[in-house]
Structure 1
Amino acid sequence: MKLRYNRPNSSSSNLINTDQLNWGTVTPQQVITGRTGELVAFQYFAEIYGVKSVKWVNEVKESGLPFDIIIEGENNSKEYIEVKSTSHANKDWFVISVKEWQFAVEQGGSFTIARVLVSHGNLVRITTYRNPVKLCKSRHLQLAILSSQ
């Protein structure tokens, strides 16, 4: 499994290259991509922090929590990781729920989004966005609102 790790840079990108985003039913393939991304993110963080420090909260079934992985550090510190997976290398956006965003606001620097690109079941790249609220305020990330109309 080849691993490439990126951090966001200060240059902004064209976030949406189409006139309309489709917001519809989740397909079985999207579920597989999401689960695969969570698994490889878990393996990645377990390799860095040790398997005893990393917990995949959705390992058995979807927990409904606003994060997918918890990393327990020294002095009972916790980092919450929300994994966003895709199999499309040119897709530079992802959906974040209101519940996930509220949790990101509450947790600040203890919340990270891990953007996982998987291709044919293999990890291609992980990009992390630690404290995405701060990154939005500093214009390293942008939010978009999608209308259901």
Structure 2
Amino acid sequence: MVQIRPATPDDTQDIVTLLDALIAAGKRTIPGDEAYVRAHYTGGTRLVTHLALESDRVLGLQVLSRSDGASPYGTPEGWGAIGTHVHPEAGGRGIGRRLFVETLAAARAAGLTEIEAAIGLHNVEGQAYYEAMGFRTWRTTSERNCKRFDVTRATPLG
């Protein structure tokens, strides 16, 4: 049974293992070593990182940060910035949806009104996932399709 919980620094190596599996499957190009994970998923300026676990194996994660306006993706200051990663062997099991329920609650608790997902133009699975969650394209760059979610709307999932 899949359980969702916030990540802690003790989860760093398990998150590295997940990111390595995504790199090996060609679904991630950014390295995910321990220093990167500590800076972006278990520490740093994130608001929360939720993990999806089954038998203590990390099957997915979703991170939510508050943009300071200096985002490499151009996320507006004060908006949430979201990232989602699901193990290549765990796709299609509803893990992303379950993670987003928890992340949306955290976004509301933090007073965010908008969340942006900056997805690579060729990441068809990522585009479809965020559309299914209710994110809508609001701008496109040369490398990314940027989708936004209105946190204040009544229906949490599209």
TM exceeds 0.5?
Answer: no
Rg larger in structure = 1
Whose relative contact order is higher, 1 or 2, with alpha carbons under 8 Å and at least 6 apart? 1
TM-score bin (small chain)? 0.3 to 0.5
Give the strand-richer structure, 1 or 2.
Answer: 2
